[in-house]
Homo-oligomer: A and B are copies of this chain.
Amino acid sequence: MKKLMILAFCLLGVLSARGQEQKEYPKPKGMQPRHTEFWLPQPPVITPGSFVATVDMPVSGKVKKGQPATAPATVGASDIYVTAPSDAIVLFDGSGLEEWVGPKGAAPGWQVADGVLTIVPGTGEIGTKRVFHDFQLHIEWSEPVDIQGESQERGNSGIFLQGRYEIQVLDNYHNETYASGGAGSIYKQHAPLVNAMRAPGQWNVYDIIYEAPTFKKDGTFRTYPHVTVLHNGVVVQNHTEILGTTEYVGFPHQRAHGDGPIILQDHGNPVRFRNIWIREL
């Protein structure tokens, strides 16, 4: 079996390395399994949510490579149900926006209806009242079916981590744009590994794992912020370094900051959101 052959090969490699094995060295004898079994701290027990369910739910009983899937007759778009993990802060459950503020501390101008949050263009961005350090964020979003325009002018919005590092939201379905500006990109820094976009009207899911930066004395990054993004269950950013702020013109800036909010961008398109929760790490 290939595995055994690889192991044998490695063993030979080690044995021949500098011929050190002719010599007898002490060996760590007498170890017990319990010597490597640590009981504390015990991980906290949580109840996981049913974290994703989509209108793409197929009818087949088998795993198949992503064919266009049809929702079973008994589960329609409006029947999609999820729970958040028991240790999550629910930021939007379909009912109201008490966790959010609009520009200058005003009430958010966006629309809540049928369990869905829709951007009202021109009312400005909304941000969480809470601020966060390291976290896991779950957020679902959907592009308008009657969408117009192309490239960046097509269902554009964004999710700003700690208020300054943008994960792009865009209708990237059969719509090309610059690679580092596509859905799942760290805006103008890192293209997504793949384009895992669903069609307008369907729900996209982002699961975002974020680590905040630490700073040097001069305010630049001592350790970079990192982000892992799953787009519809597919990894599109894998512990990617965020190089600084995600600027429209010019380069990323690095400036010291503390915890920050989640901000959703008003880029003039009526993108919809639902099922938003966050877990502090």
Contact = CB atoms under 8 A, between A and B. Distances in A.
Main secondary structure of the interface of A (DSSP, over half): loop
Nearest to A180: B38
Contact of A18 (B1, B44, B46, B232): B44
A194 B234 CA distance: 22
A246 to B, nearest CB: 10
B261 A179 contact: no
A49 interface: yes
A267 to B, nearest CB: 14
Contacts of A63: 49, 82-84, 90, 92-94, 275-277
A41 B59 contact: no
A235 interface: yes
Contacts of A95: 62
A228 B233 contact: no
Interface string A62-104: 1111111100101100110111111110101111000001011
A150 interface: no
B49 A233 contact: yes
Copies of this chain? 4
Contact of A251 (B2, B36, B217, B255): B36
Nearest to A30: B32
A149 interface: no
A29 B37 CA distance: 10
Given A63-B83, A95-B62, A195 B39 contact: no
B239 A31 contact: no
A89 to B, nearest CB: 9
Contacts of A41: 14, 17-18, 20, 179, 191, 218-220
A30 B17 CA distance: 33
27 contacts: A1-B101, A1-B105, A11-B255, A17-B219, A18-B41, A25-B40, A26-B39, A26-B178, A28-B34, A29-B34, A33-B248, A33-B249, A35-B249, A36-B180, A37-B188, A43-B194, A45-B197, A48-B231, A50-B58, A52-B233, A62-B95, A74-B75, A193-B281, A214-B223, A217-B281, A228-B228, A228-B238
